[in-house]
Amino acid sequence: MKTLFEIDLNDYKDTDAVFRRPSARAIIFQGDKIALVYSKKEKYFKFPGGGIHDDEDKKEALIREVREESGMVVIPDSIREFGSVLRRQKSDKSENTIFEQENYYYYCDVQDELVDQDLDDYEEDAGFVLRVVDLDTAIAANDIYTSESYFNEVMIKRELRVLKLIKGEMFNQLSMKKSHCPWVFR
């Protein structure tokens, strides 16, 4: 999978222990809008997805996490790689520990029917709900997001950069289609 970008805050010591928590995240379009998880409490958007368990592969984790967080059911044959983002920073939970998270982003399609969410306590506290919005709405919300938790801010700035990359890719694809039209004059 191609690397989209890396975030390394270098706010830790090289001698610190490393806690790795890889994750799988879904990019789900419905028409010209994108399905995201919205935090009613914190007022940010994130891609549905989360941590990969030791006994799971990335795609299994993606399917499970999307269902739990959003209630959407991923169609396994539709999963396509987009890219990964490595995030490294000092842990907010353990002293002398580096938090390292490789985030694997996948395009995928979902079934029409929703199932019930199965949220963790912190997701419930954050008020996670499924929202289908245009990219600009999500970008605007995440662009102004601030938090008392710098750890959360870094996460949402990562999601913001990925949203902008997707928007840029969509613009480039549209431009390529237009440039291949025989009736476009230059």
Residues 34/135, Cβ–Cβ less than 8 Å: yes
**Residue 105 pLDDT more than 60?**
yes
Checking if the pLDDT of 66 tops 80, the result is yes
pLDDT of residue 83: 98
Q: What is the pLDDT of residues 127-140, one digit of tens each?
A: 999 999 999 999 99
Confidence class for position 183, pLDDT limits 50, 70, 90: very low
Question: For the residues 143-154, what does the mean pLDDT come to?
Answer: 93
Selection from 85, 76, 101 nearest residue 166 by Cα: 85
Q: What is the 3-state secondary structure (H, E, C) of 105-169?
A: EEECCECCCCCCCCCCHHHHHHCEEEEEECHHHHHHHHHHCCCCCHHHHHHHHHHHHHHHHHHHH
Rounded to an integer, the average pLDDT of 36-47 is 97
**Domain edges within the chain:** 3-179
Asked if the model's pLDDT at residue 180 lies above 90, the reply is no
Positive or negative torsion for Cα 57, 94, 124, 34: negative
Q: Does domain 3-179 have CATH number 1.10.275.10?
A: no
Q: For a pLDDT cut of 70, what percent of the chain falls above it?
A: 92
29: pLDDT strictly greater than 50: yes
pTM higher than the cut 0.85: yes
* Residue 184 in this model has a pLDDT that exceeds 80: no
Residue 18 has pLDDT above 70, yes or no: yes
**pLDDT recorded at residue 3:** 97
User: What pLDDT, on a 0 to 100 scale, did the predictor assign at position 186?
Assistant: 41
Q: Collapsing DSSP states into helix, strand and coil, what is residue 172?
A: helix
Q: What percent of the chain has pLDDT over 90?
A: 88
